[in-house]
Amino acid sequence: MMKMHYSWPVLILMTLVLGLTACEDDSKEAAFTVADLPTERDAEAGKELFEKGDGDAPACKSCHNTGSEDGATGPGLGGIGSEAGNRVDGESAEEYLLNSIIAPGKHIAEGYRNNMFSKYDDKLSKQQIADVIAYLLTLN
């Protein structure tokens, strides 16, 4: 059996490269604003998307829960409906939630890394995103 010897610097470099390529883009800007979303919104449809996802868009529930306890890799969202408008100066609750969904690197909850799925704006329609926001606003 042949022994393979690796150089520590090569292993460290490979680890760094893999780690950097796995990071989400913190600089991503929102592709659209709240004004671009439909005004008719369905919180029940949003709840279903939150719980089950859609196609390539993972369920929010896979990382977050709707209580005050933290989810698997994201903060609990209990109370987000009443807190979202107070999180970032100058942003309404809807703006904060939209940015958190489609440009997650913009607002990272304290104690968490930016490991949220960053392609909801590509995988969900504006209607679906508006519905998820409507549902999140019911979590008081």
CATH number of domain containing 90: 1.10.760.10
Rounded CA gap, 107 and 97, in Å? Answer: 9
In a domain, 50, yes or no: yes
Output the pLDDT for position 31.
79
Spell out the SS3 assignment of 12-78.
HHHHHHHHHHHCCCCCCCCCCCHHHCCCCCCHHHHHHHHHHCECCECCHHHCCCCCCCCCCCCCCCC
The boundaries of the domain holding residue 68 are 27-136
- Chain segment 28-57, per-residue pLDDT in tens: 677 789 999 999 999 999 999 999 999 999
**0.85 exceeded by pTM:** no
Please report the pLDDT score of residue 70 as a whole number. 77
Q: What is the pLDDT of residue 69?
A: 81
What is the average pLDDT value for the chain, to the nearest integer?
Answer: 84
Intervals of the chain under pLDDT 50: 11, 13, 15-25
Q: Is residue 9 situated within a structural domain?
A: no
In a domain, 13, yes or no: no
Query: Which residues are CB-contacts of 90 (< 8 A; sequence separation ≥ 6)?
Result: none
What domain count does the chain have? 1
Cβ neighbours of residue 13 closer than 8 Å, sequence gap 6 or more: none
Q: What is the pLDDT of residue 28?
A: 63
